[in-house]
Amino acid sequence: MKTYSTILIDDEQNALQNLSKKLQRYCIDLDITHTFQDPKEAIIEINKNPPDLLFLDIQMPGMTGFELLKQVKNLRSQVIFSTAYSEHALEAIKQSAVDYILKPVDKDELINAVQKAIDNILNTNIDQNDKLVQLMNKMIERDHKLKIPTQKGISFIPQEEVIHLEGYDGYTKIHIADGSTIMSSYSLGKFTDQLEDYFFKCHKSHIINIKAVTAFENEGYLVMGNDYRVPITKTYKKTFLDLF
């Protein structure tokens, strides 16, 4: 039986393990040669030994999946994204040579995505990857909503309405301007690459919307528009004050 070399990239170890187990169980014609949490290490291996299939998380601290692909020389792998984007973007992926899976990974979606990738390989239909990456980048540039995976699904919140992101125990609580909060299983770092330039990391566990700051307190707190006090460490204090 012919097998297809496969690389998995995700900064979360649990996500890598879960995907690997499901592929080994349901997609036995794939040969998982490498798994990576570090995108930079993955790029070296992909450029050295291009796989047939590449499973790629989009939101990763320090480097998005799209940024990773831009550093791949002569991309020829079939790319299957792990993503949480809006319906129009997902439909664009669905109609292309590249497919997607949503977390948590559904068995049937995974099987269909892999079969589509294999069909593309057999038909030597490999020229759609770059086109899709360009299309997705354009959509991201136009879409200024924060995409928040929750237990119920995905919330799409205009970033101007986000006051403060608070991380703890691997989860993130998003504070909204109307006083409501949204809890996400994504860690704080997973949101970093989505945020606009007016967001500022004031503490290892806190990112604030600069536009929503109403006061700075000498004892080391920022007061937000909802009267919520957020700690700011000495490390970030000078940088924050320089912004004003």
pLDDT in tens, the chain (244 residues): 789 999 999 998 988 999 999 999 999 999 999 999 999 999 999 999 999 999 998 878 778 887 888 888 888 889 898 876 555 455 546 555 467 787 778 899 899 999 989 988 887 654 555 556 665 655 555 557 788 888 777 788 888 899 999 998 889 999 998 889 999 988 998 888 788 888 999 999 999 999 999 999 988 899 997 678 999 998 888 888 877 6
Please list, in sequence order, all residues whose beta carbon lies within 8 angstroms of the beta carbon of residue 115, skipping any fewer than 6 positions away: none
pLDDT of residue 146: 85
79 close to 56: Cβ distance less than 8 angstroms: yes
Q: Measuring CA to CA, how many Å separate 124 from each of 56, 99, 215?
A: 21, 16, 59
Task: Return the amino acid letter for 27.
Answer: C
What's the half-sphere exposure (Cβ side, CA atoms, 13 Å) at 73? 6
Q: What is the pLDDT of residue 3?
A: 94
CB 188 within 8 A of CB 207: yes
- Return contacts of 210-216, CB within 8 angstroms, 24+ apart: 210/243, 211/160, 212/163, 212/164, 212/177, 216/240, 216/241
Q: CATH 3.40.50.2300 spans which residues of the chain?
A: 4-142
- The whole-model pTM stands at 0.55
pLDDT of residue 99: 78
Query: What is the reported pLDDT for 129?
Result: 58
Question: Which residue intervals of the chain bear CATH 2.40.50.1020?
Answer: 146-242
Write the CB contacts of 80 (distance below 8 Å, at least 6 apart in sequence).
53, 54, 55, 56, 98, 99, 100, 101, 113, 114, 117
pLDDT at residue 183, as a whole number: 92
Tokens representing residue 38 in the block? 């570090």
Superfamily (CATH H level) for 146-242: LytTr DNA-binding domain (2.40.50.1020)
Q: Provide the β-strand partners of residue 57.
A: 82
Cα distances (Å, whole numbers) of residue 192 to 60, 63, 67, 130, 187: 9, 10, 14, 25, 10
Domain 4-142 belongs in CATH node 3.40.50.2300:
yes
